[in-house]
Amino acid sequence: MKPAAKPDVLTVTVKIMGREYAVQCAPNEHEALVTSAEILNERMNAIKKRGRALGAEKIAVMAALNLTRELLALQGDANVVTPDSQALERLRQLGHDIDSTLNDTE
């Protein structure tokens, strides 16, 4: 027999990389949970689309590390170097150029 759900706890179903997960949270945390799941889903799918054949667990670890680094930067952690916006834009452009070149050769 299933135990009765607690009235102060919601069970929310979130979808991450095509899989559904039932997660419990307080009613006042529902929106934050849904938003967090959406951001995680976007990040994990972005990592997956980079073309490497990685398993879901490795993708989740990479996403968690990236998000944690961003959190530390926002908190002003002295050990996290704030990226130079021009350098980041140049890296994005180089990545795009490499992807375009690879796609043209296939």
Q: How far apart are CA 59 and CA 5, in angstroms?
A: 32
pTM value > 0.75: no
Domains in the chain with CATH codes? 10-105 (3.30.160.880)
Residues 61-81 have a mean pLDDT of 86
Angle at 62 between CA 57 and CA 65, to 5 degrees: 125
pLDDT in tens, 12-68: 999 999 999 999 999 999 999 999 999 999 999 999 998 777 889 999 999 999 999
Question: Residue 95's pLDDT is what?
Answer: 82
Higher pLDDT, 34 or 6: 34
Across the range 65-74, mean pLDDT stands at 88
Residue 87, SS3 per DSSP: helix
pLDDT at 43: 94
Does 6 have pLDDT greater than 70? no
Rg (CA), the chain: 19
- pLDDT interval class at 77 (50, 70, 90): confident
Contacts with 95 (C-beta within 8 Å, 6 or more apart), sequence order: none
How many Å apart are CA 37 and CA 31, to the nearest integer? 10
